[in-house]
Amino acid sequence: MNKADVVIIGGSVAGIQAAISCRRRYPQKRVVVIRSEEQVVVPCGIPYIFGTLGTVEKNLVSDKGLEKNGIEIIKDEVVEIDRERKVVLTARGDTLGYDKLVLATGSLPLELPIPGLDKENVFLAKKDVPYLQRMLDAMDSVRDVVIIGGGFIGVEFADECRKHPSFKDGSVTVVEVLPHCLELVLDKEFCQEVEDILRAGGIKVLTSKKVEAILGDGKVSGVRLADGEELKADMVIVGVGARPNTELAKKAGLEIGPTNGIRVDWYMRTLIDEDVFACGDCIEKVSFFSGKLSRLMLASIATSEARVAGANIYGTCYRNCGVVGVFSTMIGERAFCCAGLSEAAARKEGLNVVTAESSAPDRHPGEMPGATRTKLKLIFCKEKGLLVGGVASGGSSVGELVNLIAACIQHSVSAYDIALFQMGTHPCLTPSPVVYSLVDAAELAVKAMQPPIPKV
Ligand SMILES: Cc1cc2nc3c(=O)[nH]c(=O)nc-3n(C[C@H](O)[C@H](O)[C@H](O)COP(=O)(O)OP(=O)(O)OC[C@H]3O[C@@H](n4cnc5c(N)ncnc54)[C@H](O)[C@@H]3O)c2cc1C
């Protein structure tokens, strides 16, 4: 029988990372990735196909990374895992034996429980190249699009659709059920900024509105809101989240948790089979902060888990730390990011928080070409002064600023530590050293903590 040492099911973010991390640590092992699709799409790049990139081909993951690392690729769907015999069976009728197995089967878009989802020109954010090509082709002959969901995926689709020649001012509409777009991840003042930019770009933003039905006779003609209002649309894009893809795992008798993800331990081993690991969107996740179950699914989380899984396959190397959560997006010319907990999320968790804000250009002097004002809010836990979150808007530099914040959170860094960070500065590259946003906000937080917490 054809047998590999390590078989990884799934060839997207988690599958690729798990395979590479495994080969790095165990170079003598035969590692095989099996994936359903012929070509893998860059999931985070999907909205950009419809505006900035303009084609699906420009948003594909190259197989070179796997090939360069000596990892074999099989393009076929796994339909069954026989854990007794340690083999996987594929849709084409092939079998492949394994010594260790990694499930990285990802997620599927959530489908709203509303009538009309099956109508022509209703699309979901599917990670599927031929489907995305059909969606792009369909966009050429539509005039009005309604996007259901004002989270990251929805607002990115709206911003990108507006760049597509089919759409004019007022023909792209976002409908969000919460009072603000991005409310689940950003604090309200940042959400307001996002909505202002979308509206200034000619996009209609309807908040506190629920889509009740998708209308049309075969082909979509509009949507009906819960208050009875009808919006004209010849295309609808649903971007309301994702659910773990766990059918295969369920069939194989692996344990599934309350969020429908595959249950794993801190080392990415499934709970009932020590030779089967799982990582990425398909697993059950817990919050770094509270240890409670988390429904966040992000490429940053998937790759971190995949590194743990890949390296731990033949011996424990890493322990997963739970979900920190780092979001970034760009709306118009402005970036919006959050690492860890927003102020609202921290308060909801019952934390006693101190916040501090700093705003400065990301070059110095502010007249330097390309300088953009950064607005940063840091959130600290008052008891120990530990950083639990950061929310920022600004130029592209805030993408890495929140990554630095995420690293600080993950390593329990306090306001006192950050206030004394020796950050390198240069006029062309960074803010001024005296108003370096991260350090400046931390110093303000130290001052705001009453009574002052002594540095230990
Ligand atoms: C539109 C969009 C934008 C996003 N933007 C961002 C962003 O900006 N930043 C961010 O951090 N995250 C973003 N995400 C989330 C991110 O894409 C996911 O967290 C990430 O794709 C998870 O990777 P994964 O490998 O676990 O799963 P997936 O990407 O879902 O991949 C699953 C893989 O498993 C394969 N597979 C499944 N079942 C089988 C089977 N039976 N046999 C063989 N193969 C199988 C699939 O074919 C696929 O290759 C975005 C998601 C979407 C949809």
The pLDDT tens digits of the residues spanning 396-416 come to: 999 999 999 999 999 999 999
Query: Which residue type is seen at 257?
Result: G
Contact 49 CB / ligand 1 (< 6 Å): no
Mean pLDDT of 151-170: 96
DSSP 3-state of 143: coil
For every residue of 170-224, DSSP letters joined together read TSEEEE-SSSSTTTTTS-HHHHHHHHHHHHHTTEEEE-S--EEEEEEESEEEEEE
pLDDT at 454: 59
Ligand 1 binding pocket includes 338 (Cβ within 6 Å): no
pLDDT digits (tens, 9 = 90+) for 342-399: 999 999 999 999 999 999 999 999 999 999 999 999 999 998 999 999 999 999 999 9
Helical pair 299-312 and 13-25, crossing angle rounded to 10 deg: 30
Q: Are 192 and 134 in contact (CB under 8 A)?
A: no
Amino acid 455: pLDDT: 57
Give residue-wise pLDDT tens across range 20-63.
999 999 999 999 999 999 999 999 999 999 999 999 999 999 99
Tell me the average pLDDT across 248-271.
Answer: 98
Stated length of the chain: 456
Contact 360, 226 (CB under 8 A): no
Which atom of ligand 1 lies nearest, measured to the CA of 297?
A: 19
- In what helix (H) or strand (E) does residue 442 lie, and over which residues does it extend? helix 437-448
Residue to probe by mutation, ligand 1, list 7, 35, 102, most atoms within 8 Å of CB: 35
261 Cβ below 6 A of ligand 1: no
* % of the chain at pLDDT higher than 70: 98
27-42 b/e (C-beta count within 10 Å ≥ 16 → b): eebbbbbbbbeebbbb
Percent of the chain with pLDDT over 90: 98
Residue 368: predicted pLDDT: 96
**Does the model's pTM come out above 0.75?**
yes
Half-sphere exposure of 209 (CA within 13 A, CB side): 24
**Beta-carbon count within 10 A of 1 CB:** 8
Question: Could you tell which of 7, 8, 13 is best to mutate to test the pocket of ligand 1, judged by most ligand atoms within 8 Å of the CB?
Answer: 13
105 lines ligand 1 (CB under 6 A): yes
Query: Is residue 343 in contact with ligand 1, taking CB distance under 6 Å?
Result: no
| Residue 314 burial by Cβ neighbours in a 10 Å radius (0-12, 13-18, 19+) | middle
Alpha-carbon gap, residue 312 to 22, rounded angstroms: 8
Which is nearest to 104 in space by CA: 303, 248, 260, 279? Answer: 279
Q: Are strands 87-90 and 122-124 parallel, antiparallel or unpaired?
A: unpaired
Q: At 31, which helix (H) or strand (E)?
A: strand 31-35
For residue 452, pLDDT beyond 80: no
Count CA atoms closer than 13 A to 290's CA, side-chain side. Answer: 13
CA of 292 to the centre of ligand 1 (A): 23
Do the Cβ atoms of 139 and 50 come closer than 8 Å?
Answer: yes
